[in-house]
Structure 1
Amino acid sequence: MRELTNIINASTMNDPLSGAINTPIQLSSTFNQKSFDDFGQYDYARSGNPTREAGENAIAQLEHGKYGYLFSTGMAAISSILFTLSAGDHIIVSKHVYGGTFRVLEDILPHWGITHDFVDFSDLDAIETAIKPETKVLYIETPSNPVLNITDIRAVVKIAKKHQLLTIADNTFLSPFLQNPLDLGVDIVVHSATKFLAGHSDILAGAVVVNDKKLADKIYFIQNAVGATLSVFDTWLLLRGIKTLGVRMTQSSSSAQKIAEHLSNHAAVSNVLYPGLKRHQRYETHMAQAKNGGAVLSFDVGSQENARIVVEALKIPAFSVSLGAVETIISYPPKMSHAELNAEELVACGITPGLLRLSVGLEDADDLIADLDAALALIQ
C-alpha cells in the first residue's frame, strides 16, 4: 500500500454499529462487565479505551510496527520508555538532543541510579568507546533539534546489535511519512505527536511504536502504571490531524527546501542547517534513510541581538515554541526548546547565540521568503 493511501487507511476506522467513517469518541472512564466471571476487553480507561486503541493501532500502522502506545505528551512518551530501565543501567545519547529529554536524563534519572553519556552520534567510534558493561540503550534523535544533525540509523543499529543493546529513535522531526526507523532496525520509535502527527497546534500527545512483544509489554505496563495516557478527545483530534499528514508534509517540506536554498545565499545569514541541502555534511546519509529534508530548518544570523531584530520584524511566522503545525513557527532555541542548557552546554550542542529555528507551515513559500528578506534587511 502506498504511503498516502496507508495514512487514510490507518486513520479511518468505520464504526461497525453505525457505519460512521470517523472513530467514535468513547467518553467513558469505566466499562460494564458481562458477568462476575466474564470480563470484557476494557475495564478502566487508563488501562484501555476503544478510541485510544484506534489511535494506537493507527500510529503503529504508520510506523510499520506491531504495537503502538499513546501518551499525554511527547515527554510522557519519552520518559515512559526510559522508565523501563533499572538502577545501574547506562544510556548513550546523541549529544544533539531535545532539551526536555536532556532535562529528564540530567535531572531525574540519575536520582534512580540510571546514568548516561552524551556522544556525537556522527562519530561511530565514539559510540563504541562510550559503551560500558552496564550500557543498555543507544538513543538516537535524527534529525536532531535544533541543529538538524543526522545520525546514520543503520550504522548505529549495527553497533547496538553487536553489543546486544536496544535502540530508541526520536522520529518527531520527520514523522512516519518521511522516515521509518523500525524498517532500519530500530527497536523503539518515539514521537512528540503534538508536532507533525497532529499538525494543528491544538493538542499535546506522545507516541511509541515497537515490534517486539516483550518490549511492548514493558511499555504497556509503564503506561498503565504511571497513567500518562492520551485523553479520548485528544486521540480523536490526533486521528483527524493524521489524515492530512501526507499532504502537509509534502507541501511544508517543499517550501522548507526552497527557503533553505534561498537563505543559503543570503548575505545576512552565516549558516543554514537543513539536511535537504546538498552541502549539508550528512546529506547523503540522510537521503538514504528519509524521503526528503523535512519541514524544519535552522539558520544563524550572527548574534542574539540580530535574532531579536529578525523575530520582531517578521509578520507571518508565529514566534513560539513547538513545531510541525499548519502555521509557520519561528523559535529561538537558547531561550525556548533548550533553555535548560547553560551557555557551555549550548555551545557543545552547536546552538549558537544567533540561531533561529523555522518550522515551515502551509503558507506560500514566496510570501515567507519575502517576509524573511524584509526582516533580514534590518541587520545587514
Structure 2
Amino acid sequence: MRTNNKDKTQWRPATLTIHGGKRRDEHGALVAPLYQTATFSFENTAQGSARFAGEEPGYIYSRLGNPTVTELEQRVAALEEFPAAAATATGMGAVSASMLAFLQHGDHVLVSDAIYGCSFALFSHLFTRFGIAVDFVDMADLEQTRAAMRDTTKLVFLESPVNPHLKVIDIQAIADIAHEREARLVVDNTFMTPLLQQPGKHGADLVLHSATKYLNGHGDVVAGIVCGSEEDIELIKLTTLKDMGATMSPHDAWLILRGLKTLDVRMERHCANAVKVAEYLREQPMVKSIYFPGFSDHPAQALMGTQMHGAGAVIAFELHGDIHTAQQLLDSLQLITIAVSLGDAETLIQHPASMTHSPYTPEARAAAGISETLIRISVGLEATDDIIADLEQAFAACANSQTQTTGEQVRYG
C-alpha cells in the first residue's frame, strides 16, 4: 500500500526539516509566504469549472487546499518518506480523518490497549455508535494480537512508544499481522517524530502526528498531520477532511513550518536532557518504577538502531504512595509546568489517570497499566540542572509533609 518516494536529493533529515517540500517564491522570499486567504479567484468561469472538475491544477478554497498548507504537507511527507500528507486542524483531526475515511458500518478496528485518552474515547465511545466494532489488545503480545484479528478488521491502530507509560511495540511485527488480513496499519508517531522513528519503513500504511507537539515545538498551535500513499491521502482529503472540515489553517501551517526548521536541534537537546532527568529519577527513593526507553533494561533496547533511533524525551514514573502523593509532588513544583501537552520548550508534567487518560474507565486504565501514581513528564529545553533542582525540592517537600503527618520518617523501597 505504501510506495517508497525518497527525496531525489537524498538529503538527510536535518536538512529536510529546513528544505523539504520548499518551493521557490516568485519574489525570492526566503521564508515561505503565508497565504492567509479563505478563497482563491479564477480568471474566468471556465477555469473555475475546470478546477472543480479536477481537470486543471490550482487552488479553490482553503478548506480544499492552500499553498502554505501544501508546503507543510510536502515537508512532513518527505521527513516520513511518504509520497503525500494531509494537514488537519488538530491531532485528533488526524486520527479521526485517517480512520473514518476507510471505515463503514460492520467493520472492525483493532487498537492498542494504551493510547491517548481522547483517541481511546473516539474508538470506545463514538465508533461503536455507528456500528464499528473495536477491540483493545496488548500489542506487545503478538499472539494475542493475531488472535484478535477478524475477517472484518480494516484498520489496526497503535502508538509506539505508548502514551503514557512508554511501552514499545514492534511495528513491523504488527504490520505483518495486519497485512495478513489485508488491513491497514495506522501509527501515531507523535512521541518520536520522524527524526527518531519512521514507521513507514516498518510497514505502517499511514503515519500521523499531533503537530501541536514536537513538529511545532513552541506550544502556540493546535494541529495534526497524516502521511501515506498518494491514493490514501487523496481519499482522506476528498472525504473526511473536505466534508467534515477538520482542515488546518494557513497561519497554523506557517507557524509549524517555522518550528520545523529547529526540529533537529530541539530534539537533540530534548533527548539529552531527558537522559539526565531519567537517571536522576531512577535514584529517587519515592520513585517506585520508571519507564524510559533509553534505559538498558527497557524492552525498547531490542528495537534501538532499527525501529528507533533514540529514546525520545518523555518519561513516565510511578511513586510509592497513592494519588494524593502524586498530586502533592506536582503541586510542589515551581519551574516545571503542570500541563497536558508535550514537545514544548518548557518541561511539562501531568497526572494521566486524572488528566489525559481520564476518558478511560478505571477498569480500562488498570488493564492498560495506568496507575493512580503514574506521572508523565515531557522534558523541555531548560538547563537540566534547573529541571532536576525543581524535582529535588518537590520530592523534599513531599517527604517533609509526610514526615509531619506521620510523625516519623517515611521509608521507601
The amino acid of 1:183's aligned partner reads K
- CA deviations on 1:269-293 (whole Å, 9 max, x unpaired) are 0111111111113322255311111
The amino acid of 1:69's aligned partner reads A
Structure 1 position 235 matched with structure 2 position 245: no
Partner of 1:281: 299
- 2:31 counterpart (22, 39, 42): 22
Mapped partners of 1:280, 1:179: distance in 2 = 17
* Number of equivalenced pairs: 378
Structure 1 position 296 matched with structure 2 position 306: no
Partner of 2:6: none
Structure 1 position 354 matched with structure 2 position 373: yes
Mapped partners of 2:61, 2:303: distance in 1 = 45
Q: Is the 8 A contact 1:287 1:293 kept in 2?
A: no
The amino acid of 1:342's aligned partner reads T
The amino acid of 1:50's aligned partner reads P
Partner of 1:263: 281
| Paired residues for 1:207-226 under 5 Å | 207-211=225-229, 213-221=230-238, 222-226=240-244
Structure 1 position 161 matched with structure 2 position 179: yes
Cα offset, 1:90, TM superposition? 0.4
Structure 1 position 56 matched with structure 2 position 73: yes
Partner of 1:4: 14
Q: Is the 8 A contact 1:152 1:286 kept in 2?
A: no
- 1:315 counterpart (334, 338, 355): 334
Mapped partners of 1:43, 1:194: distance in 2 = 26
The amino acid of 1:77's aligned partner reads A
Structure 2 residue matching 1:270: 3-state secondary structure: strand
Partner of 2:354: 335
Cα offset, 1:259, TM superposition? 1.0
CA RMSD of superposed structures (Å): 1.3
Q: Is the 8 A contact 1:170 1:191 kept in 2?
A: yes
Mapped partners of 1:287, 1:358: distance in 2 = 24
Mapped partners of 1:243, 1:263: distance in 2 = 31
Q: Is the 8 A contact 2:151 2:181 kept in 1?
A: no
- 1:140 counterpart (142, 145, 158): 158
The amino acid of 1:280's aligned partner reads H
Structure 2 residue matching 1:160: 3-state secondary structure: helix
Q: Is the 8 A contact 1:71 1:77 kept in 2?
A: yes
Structure 1 residue matching 2:287: 3-state secondary structure: coil
Q: Is the 8 A contact 1:11 1:242 kept in 2?
A: no
Structure 1 position 67 matched with structure 2 position 84: yes
Mapped partners of 2:263, 2:391: distance in 1 = 26
Structure 2 residue matching 1:208: 3-state secondary structure: strand
Mapped partners of 1:165, 1:83: distance in 2 = 14
My pick for the range that moved more, 6-15 or 228-237, is 6-15
Mapped partners of 1:147, 1:92: distance in 2 = 20
Normalization by structure 2: what TM-score? 0.89
Structure 1 residue matching 2:294: 3-state secondary structure: coil
- CA deviations on 1:189-242 (whole Å, 9 max, x unpaired) are 01111001011110100000002x331221111211211111111110011111
Structure 1: runs of 5 or more not aligned: none
Cα offset, 1:12, TM superposition? 5.0
| Paired residues for 1:95-114 under 5 Å | 95-114=113-132
Partner of 2:95: 78
Normalization by structure 1: what TM-score? 0.97
- CA deviations on 1:3-38 (whole Å, 9 max, x unpaired) are 2112111275441x2111111111221111122222
The amino acid of 1:249's aligned partner reads M
Mapped partners of 2:363, 2:126: distance in 1 = 21
Cα offset, 1:262, TM superposition? 1.8
Q: Is the 8 A contact 1:150 1:286 kept in 2?
A: no
Structure 2 residue matching 1:108: 3-state secondary structure: helix
Structure 2: runs of 5 or more not aligned: 1-10, 52-57, 400-413
The amino acid of 1:45's aligned partner reads S
- 2:214 counterpart (181, 184, 196): 196
My pick for the range that moved more, 265-274 or 33-42, is 33-42
Percent of matched pairs sharing the same residue: 37
Mapped partners of 1:253, 1:113: distance in 2 = 42
Partner of 2:402: none
Mapped partners of 1:196, 1:142: distance in 2 = 15
- CA deviations on 1:35-60 (whole Å, 9 max, x unpaired) are 22224511111111111111111111
Cα offset, 1:306, TM superposition? 1.2
Q: Which runs of 4+ in 1 moved over 4 A?
A: none
In our comparison, the structure showing a higher alpha carbon Rg is 2
Partner of 1:373: 392
Partner of 2:42: 33
